[in-house]
Amino acid sequence: MASAFQLEIVTPDRKFYEDEVDMVVVRTTAGDLGILKNHMSLVSPLAVGAIKIKKNGEYLEAACAGGFVQVRQDKATIITDSAEWPAEIDVERAKKAAERAEDRLKTKSSEIDMIRAQAALDRALNRLRVARRD
């Protein structure tokens, strides 16, 4: 793997992933970002979305609840509140969370409540999208 670099994904509960990879694609607040070895150094906030990992021609995908990515020449580190492989996602729980968030959005309560409900809906829908690709 001459073009590989180190990828580390960390959550508060565990080191979610650590290995040499060929590429990783993350969703930043400015859009999708593809990272290869020798990428320019940067730190960027992550939006809710999928993390797509390419290793040895195979793709892995995980749900990410937002966070930050730090990229250096030979390593990318993702720090997130939550990361889940498709097999770890409880689809029924995610569906119920999406329904609750949609109900909260319909109530038209305070702006803060609406922002929180939209964030909860985004996380639930992302988990469902990733789980369905498994």
Query: Is residue 1 predicted with pLDDT exceeding 70?
Result: no
Report the C-alpha gap between 109 and 26 in whole angstroms: 32
Structure confidence by residue, pLDDT tens digits, 21-79: 999 999 999 999 999 999 999 999 999 999 999 999 999 999 999 999 999 989 999 99
Q: By residue range, what is the domain housing residue 97?
A: 90-132
Overall domain count for the chain: 2
| CATH number of the domain where residue 15 is located | 2.60.15.10
Residues 11 and 41 in one domain: yes
Antiparallel, parallel or unpaired: β 5-10 and 83-84: unpaired
97 has which bridge partners?
Answer: none
Q: Give the span between the Cα atoms of 61 and 128, in whole angstroms.
A: 12
Q: Based on the domain organization, do 19 and 80 belong to the same domain?
A: yes
The pLDDT of residue 19 is above 90: yes
Are 80 and 95 in a shared domain? Answer: no
Do 50 and 34 touch, CB atoms closer than 8 A?
no
Domain co-membership, 128 together with 80: no
Q: Within this chain, do residues 80 and 94 fall inside the same structural domain, yes or no?
A: no
CATH of the domain at 98: 1.20.5.440
> Quick check: helix, strand or coil at residue 113?
helix
Question: Model pTM?
Answer: 0.85
